Amino acid sequence: MKVKTLRKTFVKSFIRNKPLRKASAKAQSAMEYLMTYSWAILIIAVVLAALFQLGVFNPMTFAPKAPPGSCQVFRPNGPGTTSFINLEGICSGELPQYVAHFNGNDYISANVPQINTATDEYNTVVFWMYWNGPINGMPFGFYDYDLWFNSGTCFGFNTAGGDAYGINPSSLAGKWVFVAAVFYNGPYTGNSLLYINGVPQALSQCSGSAGSGIATSNLHISGWPSGGYYFSGDLANVQIYNTSLSANEIQSLYLEGIGGAPIDLQHLVAWWPLNGNANDYSGNGNNGQISNVNFVSNWYNGYTPP
């Protein structure tokens, strides 16, 4: 009886443990498979990480793109006129195909008429900017309407005496930001305003100097060639108005995004989308001249739609 009982117990135990043996065999097979192909899995993971860093999986990559010159201002009575003007083309705020890339020794110039007259006391400049973070640089200079990065401690206006008033630029580096500057009749006199992403900024005098002088001729995007204060980074959608845009108008421009069209056509002086060229699409014929500037299509990293 004892022998039969032991035999039954052994048979039951064998049957009961059979699934465990199968599971153990499957686990061993899986480990062997993983060990055999782990190098391939590692390579795939590295490639996917590299593609992610390059922005291949950025949703902006697949968003619709506006080709160069797809939206422009039509002035039926010619440059400088304001009657019956309107926008023509694809002006729905699509992302641009290109932006202007500056490496620290290049610029765009244009023969834009001076606008700091008694009848145009306030002037507004807006643009989108990706700043790489060098110590100095001037992303925009127009006669004595200039915006500077000064000694790494300030981004803002200068005065006729060379002082700088602005904000700490540390939060601006390495991402796309929308800049709007309202100038009061030239250099900073206490009445000018600076907006970042549609929000007005509190300005203070900076410890850095605004450089050796003021750009007093033509317009320069990215630098002042005679002074050597070049910008390093990307710029897009530069607009100049011969009036003071309101806070609501500036907020609306920001919400349009990097591909937004001008908001006040009656007071628009010049518009350079910088979408593949330096042409002026304001209808005023202020086309820019390029000096060593590249236009790049893979610019999406650091841009978040408003």
DSSP per-residue letters across 214-274: ---SSEEESEETTTTEE-EEEEEEEEEESS---HHHHHHHHHH-TTPPPS-GGGEEEEE--
Tell me: do 158 and 44 sit in the same domain.
no
Tell me: do 11 and 115 sit in the same domain.
no
* pLDDT for residue 292 is more than 80: yes
> What pTM was estimated for this model as a whole?
0.78
Provide the residue range defining the domain that includes 92.
60-296
The predicted model gives 86-98 an average pLDDT of: 93
> Would 262 be classed as within a structural domain?
yes
Distance of CA 84 to the CA centre of its chain: 32
75 CB burial (10 A radius; 0-12, 13-18, 19+)? buried
Tell me: do 7 and 85 sit in the same domain.
no
Are 246 and 167 within 8 A, CB to CB? no
147: confidence class by pLDDT, cuts 50, 70, 90: confident
> Which residues sit opposite 220 in a β-bridge?
109, 141
* pLDDT for residue 261 is more than 80: yes
The predicted model gives 126-147 an average pLDDT of: 73
Tell me: do 71 and 215 sit in the same domain.
yes
Q: Which of 263, 305, 261, 281 is nearest to 63 (CA)?
A: 305
> Would 303 be classed as within a structural domain?
no
> Would 230 be classed as within a structural domain?
yes
> Would 3 be classed as within a structural domain?
yes
How many structural domains are present in the chain? 2
Instruction: Name the residue with higher pLDDT: 161 or 19.
Output: 161
Q: Note the pLDDT of residue 213.
A: 34
* pLDDT for residue 120 is more than 50: yes
> Would 301 be classed as within a structural domain?
no
> Would 216 be classed as within a structural domain?
yes
* pLDDT for residue 161 is more than 50: yes
> Would 253 be classed as within a structural domain?
yes
The predicted model gives 15-37 an average pLDDT of: 59
Tell me: do 48 and 134 sit in the same domain.
no
> Would 302 be classed as within a structural domain?
no
* pLDDT for residue 268 is more than 90: yes
Tell me: do 23 and 95 sit in the same domain.
no
* pLDDT for residue 32 is more than 70: no
Tell me: do 47 and 155 sit in the same domain.
no
